[in-house]
Chains A and B, each alone.
Chain A
Amino acid sequence: MEARELKKILAAYDTKLNETLSLNVASFKRINLDKSEKSTQRILTYRIIEIIVFSLLSLCMGNYIATNWSQTHLALSGIIVGIFTLIALAGSIGQVTLLQQIDYTKPIVTIRKNIELVNAHGLLFVKLMFLSTPIWWSYIVVASDLLFNIDVYAKMDVDFVLKYLMVNSLLIIPLVWFLNKLTYKNLHIKWVRKTLGLFIGSKTMKALAFLNAIEEFEN
């Protein structure tokens, strides 16, 4: 069957629909149009809460750095944790911007991409988690100082600190390479798919797969 024959069938279907399809006015009027809210409202609320939390954490870290400026190890740990908090804050602000741009009257590909980028937000936290591995001691130093007033660094063996710094600085380059690979564009690579599957939820994975499909559709 050729495409034009199919179109003939559809034209016949159209004619038939013209004769048989009607709007159920009673049902239509029962839809509570005034009660409906913008679909992005709820998710926007979550992201705004995230922004508030990360902003407070950033301020807290700023204060921590200023207070401990004279103690290099505490200030440095504070700066590292602060940078990660700011990255998370920037991610959440980016999400709110994306959400504001979601308007169903815009072209489908553009809107789908924005929606899936919002759905794939969890990936940012997974990446931050991986990125934190070489500097995880900073979190412990800051947390133990803030929560229990214990300076862990002062109790550490100098030899351990040196070994830790050496090993972890060696980790940075492979880690950056690894994190660059963890995107939807590389879902065709088996280990990328497996790694993402292990650390992110099925919804985020689904969003990444769809982002990949959108990109294929665009090209």
Chain B
Amino acid sequence: MRGNKKEQFMKTIDEHKKIIYKIVNSYCQNKENRKDLEQEIIIQLWNSFDNYNSDYKYSTWMYRIALNVAISFYRKEKKWSIKKDVYNEESIFTIEKDMVEEQTELNYHLKLLQEFIHNLNELNKALMLLYLEEKSYAEISEILGITKTNVATKINRIKLKLKKEFQNI
């Protein structure tokens, strides 16, 4: 029974792995710390797996947990972290080397965008990620816990900021 649950959990994580990967990359620049954050997110997702509320989309539930964990991690709140001895040394993601090392225009733009995101504060970072993921205002509002009007206002501000930041490209 427990084995089945773990298999099901792994399958769900596999289906949504991009969410975790992108959040980890946005909140953590250090490669070593990234492994810890990935695993901490997985553990929190596992701890909440039984309480998944099907009223929400799975991705909404996952974004909430992953972003909450990432923000705590980013703020180096050790007391909110899981015990270190449950981590392992290896990343839970494998990415083909050419994607990391390629000197493409795409990678250049992504790097600029990541730098832009890194400079935002914890909450705006979350908003920016959700906006770039093309989440609806309603979903962003559900994930963040602010009103739809507030989401719209903040997104407009972000658009202006993005335009200003990337005007010379």
A residues with a Cβ closer than 8 A to B are 1-3, 6-7, 9-10, 12-14, 16-33, 35-40, 42-43, 103-112, 115, 119, 206, 210, 213-214, 217-219
Contact = CB atoms under 8 A, between A and B. Distances in A.
Interface string B68-107: 1101100101011111011110111111101100000010
Contacts of B48: 103-105
A23 B146 contact: no
Interface string B10-24: 100110011001000
Given A23-B92, A28-B10, A104 B69 contact: yes
A108 B134 CA distance: 18
A108 B77 contact: no
Contact of A112 (B42, B44, B68): B68
Interface secondary structure of A, over-half rule: helix
B110 interface: yes
Given A1-B166, A24-B92, A105 B65 contact: yes
Contact of A1 (B39, B106, B167): B167
A9 B21 CA distance: 17
B150 interface: yes
Interface of B: 6, 10, 13-14, 17-18, 21, 39, 42-44, 46-48, 51-53, 61, 64-65, 67-69, 71-72, 75, 77, 79-83, 85-88, 90-96, 98-99, 106, 109-110, 113, 121-124, 126, 132-134, 142-146, 150, 154, 159, 162-163, 166-167, 169
Contact of A23 (B6, B17, B61, B113): B17
B145 A6 contact: no
Contacts of A9: 106, 109-110, 113
